[in-house]
Structure 1
């Protein structure tokens, strides 16, 4: 068992199809202040799937045509840690991030709720942090913070996940820091989010696909 969630960042560049469950390229969405199944339904989960609590390793994405999975359905693994619902996806993005940015009504943040999303953003880099501590969401590329002076921003800074930028640092210093630390940046970001939320997700269970799964639409 692995404590925390830093291991997800450490495997950010690992190919995503090497295990029955998930390991590499994981996008993580965390939500609190709402009921777990309600949040999953907002992501497009089917009621029957939720009731079945099928282990993620047993999920099969329906094929659009032979040999080609549907581009509109993606596996997601989920669970609870403390007061947070967590959703893991390894298809290159986070469903909540795409829905929120696409103004899908069910995915818009609300007062009294908090959503924190780390989306790998493989199809349009860089990876992103999206934090909605209420009805308004704030975005930041990996390596920066949300500029809100929040407890999340403090955690990012403390973990070393906020890289120097111009004009506060010289171009040479910015480039040198990035070249030295870029490989570890996802791990630093996940470390910071783990410190901020207190979320712990078992690496072995995720890798094996033992956690319940749904298909997000």
Structure 2
């Protein structure tokens, strides 16, 4: 089975690990990465395309494939404001999902967040929840939503708050009731996404933290 995978957000902590894993998978023939800046990869399977996310409608054909992995995301600090963060985490993501559906992508896989809820008081969790709700209205054959907690791994940008949390959270999460908030490696999320993409599943699935740690059922 030869498949084309499209990866948006290929330079993030999950996206980089995902491209590496897809490039080694025998079922994946081509990987198209859509990035704001050049993101070369040593595998001949990877075709990197630099696009303008403010004009996504110009790139509809680049969304065409069997699988679309959406790993795009930013922080309020990086974006400069909640409104600017929302533009990346909701507006861009939603338009990409629409275009992918229009291009006949069968399976859409989204990195969301633990606690995503369209009615949350947290602007971040509200954004993630709104996007989850909206994409479920699109005519994909299958939608897989992944809800990791704090992501660990090498980033292209330094985030002091996350660095501190990465040191403290594993210790705190040993306490009763906090285990479900334990951090997870970006590569573990990527491994689960690839495994799910190559296995049968339900039309709409949500993989929460414990399911992300357990990939055996999909190997």
Higher RCO structure (Cα 8 Å, ≥6 apart): 1
Q: Which is richer in helix?
A: 2
Q: Same fold, TM exceeding 0.5?
A: no
Q: TM-score, normalised by structure 2?
A: 0.29
Q: TM-score, normalised by structure 1?
A: 0.29
